[in-house]
Amino acid sequence: MQQNINHIKQLIADGACDEAIDRLSALPAATGGGMEDELVLLQNRLKHLNRAVASGAIARDDENTDYASIRIF
């Protein structure tokens, strides 16, 4: 379990938020500890941000700020 958590922390540090959230949602502690709603919210925030970046609807500074706020969680 600790190895999985360390790997997730490294993914977050590397900026691989999508993969980190997917792996976190697969952990028994996350799904049994009431974190499902928070994980869904993070996934949706990240998808929305990725769409905004792809469409050019968000400035580079705002993109970095938004990604950083997602990584804090």
Distance (Å, whole) CA 67 – CA 23 = 18
pLDDT at 61: 83
Rounded-to-integer distance, Cα 51 and Cα 33, Å: 30
Report the run of H or E that residue 20 belongs to, with start and end.
Answer: helix 17-26
Segments of the chain scoring below 50 in pLDDT: none
Q: Give the per-residue pLDDT at 27.
A: 77
Identify the domain containing residue 10 by its residue range: 2-72
Total domains present in the chain: 1
Asked if 42 and 8 count as a contact pair (C-beta separation under 8 A), the reply is no
pTM score, two decimals? 0.62
User: Given this model, what pLDDT does residue 2 score?
Assistant: 75
Q: How far apart are CA 21 and CA 11, in angstroms?
A: 9
